[in-house]
Amino acid sequence: MGRDRGLTLIELLVAFILLTLISVMIYRGYISVIRETSRIYYVAKDEKEVRTFIYQLIKDIKSAGFGVGKSEIDNTGNGVLSSCQFPTTNVPVLSKCTDANNNDQLYILSLSSRNIRESGCWGFVDSEGCLRVAYVTKIGERVNLSQNLLSRDCSSDIRRTGRFLFLSKERRILGGGVESGSNVCVQSAECDSGIKCSYKNSVFVYFGDNDFTYPDDFQVRYYLSPNNIPVECAPNTYNLVRQLRGGVGQPILSCVATFKVYYGESDDFGNMLYSASIGSIDNLKSVVLCMVVQLGRHKAGKPTESVTFSNKCGGFTVSFNDERRFYRWKVVEEEVPLRNIGAITVQEE
């Protein structure tokens, strides 16, 4: 009978305590794994967001000067504005200013900046007055000149009754700016597109049925804003905002510590030189975007006292003398080539 007795109260207590200790150890290990997984997830997410933003921004900056007249290119001057506001006269194609927090604001002028289906559609009017959106190579291959916002060929988008901006080969604005094609173009069976226009040997940019004022409506600026910062951002950080003139700014990247803009120019020997201002618009080749962006929502174990940029970004140092030192940071130095500042090349058969 003695061999059939149950567990004593002390044995039950010991078993309970051991089970509790084991459960606590397992729970702590589980929580540690979850926290680490969460940290890695948010770091990976932020890395992806930073790269996605960079691709979007590069595409936007590359379009600076798209379709605009030579006068706006010449108005760029040294690329530095005296005040951080949209220019209302002598609108430059590319410029920047420095705000009260010593961050830069970047201003660009591009006729592909508007979020419309026809954004990016352009072509030329040949010597016969025929409106062309494609050309045929010597081997008979048809090559479309441009694609719309949806990455589709613009051939089906161009309508005679739409609105156009015509430029000469020297990028001089023809007519009164953006105007209805119904006033300067007619239907013609002589042309492959079925459209003949009065501005021969010209380049055009197409806006569909949208009524825009040139050049004011095509100004874009990027700036840092301290408003509506996500809770996971370190203190004294900003949202990077994109704003069209006359529109509401849209945040495109959060947790940014600083934003600076530098210009890249080529010297007489083909070497690239970088400066905070433009020496010669004819030598301007690129814009360098310089940012410090927070990675992850959690604080880092090892403090970061400062980060330093390369010579492309002036070699300046950003010091973290506050709680920001406990976060992880990514230095972004992105050089964006400017492909629309020079003269437009018109390719015909």
pLDDT value of residue 346: 37
Which tens digit of pLDDT belongs to each residue from 58-67? 888 999 999 9
Which tens digit of pLDDT belongs to each residue from 70-112? 999 999 999 999 999 999 889 999 999 999 999 999 999 999 9
Statement: residue 277 has pLDDT above 90: yes
Copy the structure tokens of residue 108. 């660009």
Which tens digit of pLDDT belongs to each residue from 44-63? 356 677 777 778 788 889 99
Tell me the mean pLDDT in the region 225-240.
89
> What are the angstrom distances between the C-alpha of 234 and each of 51, 81, 170, 298, 330?
20, 30, 49, 9, 13
Tell me the mean pLDDT in the region 273-292.
94
Copy the structure tokens of residue 170. 């020297």
Nearest to 227 by CA among 235, 239, 244: 239
Identify whether the C-beta of residue 251 lies closer than 8 Å to the C-beta of residue 134: no
> What are the angstrom distances between the C-alpha of 112 and each of 64, 119, 163, 166, 244?
9, 5, 14, 15, 12
Percent of the chain with pLDDT over 70: 87
| Confidence band of 345 (pLDDT split at 50, 70, 90) | very low
Per DSSP, what are the bridge partners of residue 203? 124, 167
pLDDT value of residue 42: 38
Q: Where are the domains of the chain?
A: 45-113+215-337, 122-206
